[in-house]
A and B are shown apart, each in its own frame.
Chain A
Amino acid sequence: MTDQVTAPINDWLKSEVGSNDVVLFMKGTPQFPQCGFSSTVVQVLDYLGVPFASHNVLESDELRSGIKDFSNWPTVPQLYVKGEFVGGCDIIREMFEAGELRDLFANKGVQVNAA
């Protein structure tokens, strides 16, 4: 087993997804998404009325590459709920359409709009 160098960004990400119920890493901001996939996830969260923290990966190369290593997931957006990585745009959209996303929030104790 080799010692792995842990980037400081990793510690920051850990505390960020640990201290916020719902965190979205995206391109752009919720008000001004700069990518269609990020925009889709924002729309789903808004529709469900879920408050979320967001981080714009376009503002930091360290964040942009750090988040991919953190989750071992090669793309952005990435959604975290209660510290757990849920997925990117395809997964969020599929879960939303299947009604699974609402259940996931409910099961994790995150407030959503009435159905």
Chain B
Amino acid sequence: MKVKNMGMMTDQMRGKLATALSPQSLDLVDESEKHRGHAGYRDGGESHFRLTVVSAVFEGLSRLERQRRINEVLAEELAGPVHALSIRALTPGEAA
């Protein structure tokens, strides 16, 4: 069964990432349904996300530094309703 999802959290996170990272591409997927029954799952979704983001901001940054940038942007969400965020952060060169 597909739970209807308003996607407000998803939109909010997308907006913050777009502002902070000026990404070339940004793909944020709510994967909460895959985690139904696992820790952190709740009805309505928006608890488990997968992010693929391509931005020139990541040039010269290590994997750790890239994720820290994203964690900072989404600190509020990660401290609260977002249980899991899987991150793939690439430079335009790496994504090409």
Chain A positions near chain B (C-beta within 8 angstroms): 27, 34-37, 72-75, 85-91, 94-95
Q: Of B8-16, B21-29, B53-61, B63-71, which binds chain A? A: B63-71
Contact with A along B8-51 (1 / 0, CB 8 A): 00000000000000000000000000010011000000000000
- How many angstroms from the CA of A35 to the CA of B41 in the assembled complex? 12
Contact yes or no, B38 A35, CB < 8 A: yes
Residues of B within 8 A of A91 (CB): 63-64, 67
What residues on B are CB-neighbors of A74 within 8 Å? Answer: 71, 75, 78-79
| With known contacts A74-B79, A75-B78, A35–B63 Cβ distance under 8 A | no
Residues of B participating in the A interface, judged by any CB pair closer than 8 Å: 35, 38-39, 63-64, 67-68, 71, 75, 78-79, 84-88
Neighbouring A residues of B67 by C-beta, 8 Å: 87-88, 90-91
The answer to whether A87 touches B64, judged by C-beta atoms less than 8 angstroms apart, is yes
Interface contacts beyond A36-B35, A74-B79, A75-B78: sample of 4 additional A-B pairs, CB < 8 Å, sorted by A = A75-B84, A89-B86, A91-B67, A94-B88
Docked complex Cα distance between A14 and B68 (Å): 21
Query: Which residue of the partner chain B has the closest CB to A98?
Result: B63
Specify which chain B residues have a CB less than 8 angstroms from the CB of A34 in the assembled complex.
39
Chain A minimum-CB-distance residue to B83: A75
> Which chain B positions have C-beta within 8 A of A88?
67
Which residues of A lie under 8 Å from residue B78 when comparing CB positions?
74-75
3 smallest A-B Cβ distances: which pairs? A74-B78, A91-B63, A90-B87
Check B85 against A75 for contact (C-beta < 8 Å): yes
Q: List 14 A-B contacts (CB under 8 A).
A: A34-B39, A35-B38, A37-B86, A73-B71, A74-B75, A74-B79, A75-B78, A86-B64, A87-B64, A89-B86, A90-B87, A91-B63, A91-B67, A94-B63
